Amino acid sequence: MRFVVEPEARGMRLSKYLFDRLKLSRTLVRKAKAAGGILVDGRPARTSHVLAGGEVVEVRVVQEGRVEPEPVPIQVVWEDPYLLVVDKPAGMVVHPVRDYVSGTLANGVAYHLLQSGSDPVARPVQRIDRETSGLVLFAKEPAVAGLLSRELERQKLERRYIALVEGAVAADAGTVDKPLRRVWGHPVAREVAEGPRTPEQERLLAEAAAAGRALREDWTAAGQPAVTHWRVLRRWPAATMLELRLETGRTHQIRVHMAHLGHPLLGDELYGGSRRLIGRQALHAAGLAFAHPVTGEMMRFEAPLPPDLADLVARLDAS
């Protein structure tokens, strides 16, 4: 990426400009520095370089996130030279993983970028579950991805979801502030971190740590902090439509928090929901809002309910 140094940055060290003004991550700057990819006016520069104002600063890093471009159909909501917003259908994985190595949204994005003449590197800024539909944001440049990841960590990237849950939720709005951890012995499930793990679980975790195996925070008894805000949009006798906003983005956060309230998502069998009305978890990433990392413009995107959720709402209305 290229940046023109503002006059008011005169006298600032390049390192401070990269971290404080451009909000680049230390990992990204370290990679660029190691590859000789930090330039001032076209010449390699040390991060100790003192800026005069008006220079052109370039940050170049090795491309990451490459997947095989495949002609997977994608629905582009918006695109510019730096970003791509896609409306993902339910049933599609965002990025290749062990059990889904092709046919993913990232494969389709890489193909779209290749066809449009851009570097075919798919960098999802946030991810949603395979069965969740809705908006996914991709960055075309590594520096842009780093900036947006920092905004996500600082809770500056707003994510709005629509969910249909079991039963009639009594309150009109609320917040679930409950940490999450992995369910011991299950490959994907999470749970609210309440109470200690069993002595046997703690012993096995201690042995793994002693052996030098990396243990993520969500393996610990305390889990990872997770906060979900919700409000009721509509009620039926057997279901409730909720709008949800996330402060954190833990795996299965909405699904676990709603089950904890006693109202699992319709169709979410993993956490107690029934598939009587719909064959997948009734969750849709309906809105994204963030400041554009290059222009500073406030960006807002909305995705309407997909046909299966719209049909579910119609059937609930008719029941």
Q: Is 98 helix (H, G, I), strand (E, B) or coil?
A: coil
CA angle, residues 78, 278, 190, in degrees to nearest 5? 80
Catalytic residue among 129, 218, 268, 308: 129
Cα separation, 139 vs 319, whole angstroms: 43
Structure tokens at 200: 């046997």
Structure tokens at 54: 């008006």
Q: What is the pLDDT of residue 284?
A: 98
DSSP-assigned letters across all residues of 195-230: SPPPHHHHHHHHHHHHTT----GGGSSS-B--EEEE
Q: Which residue has the tokens 């002693």?
A: 210
**Interval 71-118: pLDDT, tens:** 999 999 999 999 999 999 999 999 887 678 789 999 999 999 999 988
Third-level CATH fold of 163-207+216-284+312-318: Pseudouridine synthase (3.30.2350)
| Angle in degrees, 0-180, between the axes of helices 26-34 and 142-153, rounded to the nearest 10 | 160
119 in catalytic set: no
Q: What is the pLDDT of residue 63?
A: 53
Q: What is the mean pLDDT of each run of 10 residues along the chain (319 residues)?
A: 85 86 74 82 89 88 72 96 96 85 92 91 90 96 81 84 97 97 83 80 70 59 89 96 94 97 98 96 97 92 98 96
The domain spans of the chain are 2-59, 163-207+216-284+312-318
- The CATH code belonging to domain 2-59 is 3.10.290.10
Q: Which class for 266: exposed (0-12), middle (13-18), buried (19 or more C-beta within 10 A)?
A: buried
Q: What is the pLDDT of residue 309?
A: 98
Ramachandran bin of 134, using left for φ above 0, alpha for ψ from -120 to 50, beta for the remaining angles: left
Report pTM. 0.77
- β-partners of residue 160 are 245, 287
**Interval 22-63: pLDDT, tens:** 777 777 787 778 778 888 998 889 888 999 988 888 887 655
Structure tokens at 150: 């920092």
Q: What is the pLDDT of residue 148?
A: 86
Q: Determine the residue type at 179.
A: P
Q: What is the pLDDT of residue 42?
A: 87
Q: Which residues contact 97 (CB under 8 A, 6 or more apart)?
A: none
Q: Which residues contact 157 (CB under 8 A, 6 or more apart)?
A: 125, 126, 137, 148, 151, 288, 289, 290
Q: Which class for 317: exposed (0-12), middle (13-18), buried (19 or more C-beta within 10 A)?
A: exposed
